[in-house]
């Protein structure tokens, strides 16, 4: 998407019901898909302004309908005292709509900025991991009685690992950028682990409303107390499987480094963070889970780590068209880092299983 000047962004922002007029708009956060700006007005009010990537999200209108339903439901739960987690608050456009269509058919939205929140790339403590687990568990629990029809699938087959594997094989065969030889070791490792592509299939688990993008940096933790404050990045909230949420949180919060760490000797699984995540998640999710879901908690992180590695590798092979890249080879480094994390998780697999069992036996913290 074309880069916009600050003036153009502020002009767009002026079509929303803001307190004051926009004076600055700086790029914000670490999203790999949408463009996010921190918007400040002349009376000091802060907002988050986002351009929805409609190459990725093909139906932004339905996406925004999901967004409005989810945030209204969570706000009601908060008001009733059923959760301590805040939710994002949409700021309407001047015409009352939840979004604005700008030039080139881009969709924009504004939410209130959430003050006092930390967004971490790597966990700083066991307590942070516990709170992140509790927050995403609570998020799933609060949404189990979302009224009305199921949410629209904003990206169909999003966590269909098997179809991600087939897309990867097609990319290897096509090799449009002649990058497959450079990635030969990663391609072999991906093929050796093909069994992970079918370990968790949607059809074998209850369909629930889940987040689907539970990276650690998508939950804000209170900057002084460290407690869960607000779950953010709601574009992929849709029907799915709880295990992908739990797995993706472990992928990012029980790892020693960021997901694109170029030095693989620094990447390893952190078992103490994992046990904190299990404890926190089981506390937040209360009695929601069926036995079949609980039985797969220990394996889910491997599956999702594998899936992300496949997605990064596929994007590398296809010429970096999906994820934003900051440097040449960025997707290659991401894929290599995820495969390294997967190797480390595989060494800890028996311990992960016993951690889940002992957390279940110990009961609520």
In the block, tokens 């998407």 appear at 1
The answer to the question of residue 231 lying near ligand GN1 (CB under 6 A) is no
Q: Which two tokens stand for residue 131?
A: 């709170």
Rounded least distance, CB 289 to ligand GN1, Å: 22
The answer to the question of residue 233 lying near ligand GN1 (CB under 6 A) is yes
In the block, tokens 């079949």 appear at 292
Q: Which two tokens stand for residue 209?
A: 């409303």
The answer to the question of residue 307 lying near ligand GN1 (CB under 6 A) is no
Q: Which stretch binds ligand GN1 (CB under 6 A): 29-37, 104-112, 137-145, 196-204?
A: 29-37
Residue 260: name its binding partner from ligand GN1, Mg ion, none (Cβ under 5 to 8 Å by kind): none
Give buried/exposed letters for 146-157 (b at 16+ CB in 10 A, else e). Answer: beeeebebbbee
Residue 307: name its binding partner from ligand GN1, Mg ion, none (Cβ under 5 to 8 Å by kind): none
Here's the x/- map for ligand GN1, 53-92, by CB under 6 A: it reads as: ---x------------------------------------
Spatial separation of the C-alpha atoms in residues 90 and 344, rounded to whole Å: 40
Spatial separation of the C-alpha atoms in residues 61 and 191, rounded to whole Å: 38
Site for ligand GN1 in 198-227 (CB under 6 A): 213, 215
Site for ligand GN1 in 321-340 (CB under 6 A): none
108 and 99 Cβ atoms separated by less than 8 Å: yes
The answer to the question of residue 48 lying near ligand GN1 (CB under 6 A) is no
Nearer to ligand GN1, 29 or 92 (CB): 29
Nearer to ligand GN1, 138 or 233 (CB): 233
Query: Applying CB under 6 A, what is the total number of residues that bind ligand GN1?
Result: 10
Here's the x/- map for ligand GN1, 243-262, by CB under 6 A: it reads as: ----------------x---
Residue 98: name its binding partner from ligand GN1, Mg ion, none (Cβ under 5 to 8 Å by kind): none
162 and 204 Cβ atoms separated by less than 8 Å: no
Residue 247: name its binding partner from Mg ion, ligand GN1, none (Cβ under 5 to 8 Å by kind): none
Residues in contact with ligand GN1 by the rule CB under 6 A? 31-33, 56, 213, 215, 233, 236, 259, 308
């Amino acid at each position: 998407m074309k880069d916009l000047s600050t003036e153009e962004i502020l002009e767009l922002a002026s079509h929303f019901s803001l307190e004051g007029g926009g004076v600055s708009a700086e790029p914000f956060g670490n999203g790999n898909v949408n463009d996010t700006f921190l918007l400040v007005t002349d009376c000091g009010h802060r907002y988050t302004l986002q351009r929805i990537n409609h190459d990725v999200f093909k139906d932004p209108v339905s996406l925004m309908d999901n967004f409005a339903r989810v945030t209204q439901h969570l706000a009601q739960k908060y008001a009733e005292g059923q959760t301590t987690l805040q939710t994002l608050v949409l700021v309407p456009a001047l015409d009352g709509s939840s979004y604005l269509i700008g030039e080139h058919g881009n969709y924009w939205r504004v939410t209130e900025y959430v003050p006092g929140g930390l967004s971490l790339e790597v966990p700083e403590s066991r307590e942070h991991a516990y709170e992140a687990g509790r927050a995403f568990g609570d998020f799933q629990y609060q949404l189990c009685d979302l009224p009305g029809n199921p949410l629209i699938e904003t990206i169909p087959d999003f966590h269909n690992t098997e179809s991600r594997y087939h897309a990867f094989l097609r990319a290897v065969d096509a090799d449009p950028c002649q990058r497959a030889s450079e990635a030969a070791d990663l391609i072999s490792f991906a093929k050796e682990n093909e069994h992970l592509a079918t370990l968790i299939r949607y059809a074998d688990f209850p369909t629930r409303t889940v987040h689907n993008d539970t990276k650690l940096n998508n939950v804000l933790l209170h900057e002084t107390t460290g407690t869960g404050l607000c779950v953010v990045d709601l574009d992929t909230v849709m029907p799915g499987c709880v295990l992908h949420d739990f797995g993706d949180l472990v992928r990012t919060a029980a790892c020693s480094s960021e997901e694109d760490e170029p030095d693989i000797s620094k990447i390893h699984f952190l078992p103490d963070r994992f046990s904190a995540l299990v404890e926190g998640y089981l506390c937040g999710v209360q009695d929601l889970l069926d036995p079949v879901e609980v039985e797969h908690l220990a394996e889910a992180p491997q599956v999702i780590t594998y899936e992300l590695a496949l997605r990064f590798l596929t994007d590398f092979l296809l010429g970096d068209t999906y994820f934003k890249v900051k440097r040449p080879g960025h997707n290659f480094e991401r894929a290599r880092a995820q495969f390294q994390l997967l190797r480390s998780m595989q060494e800890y697999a028996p311990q992960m299983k016993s951690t889940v069992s002992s957390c279940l036996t110990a009961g609520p913290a």
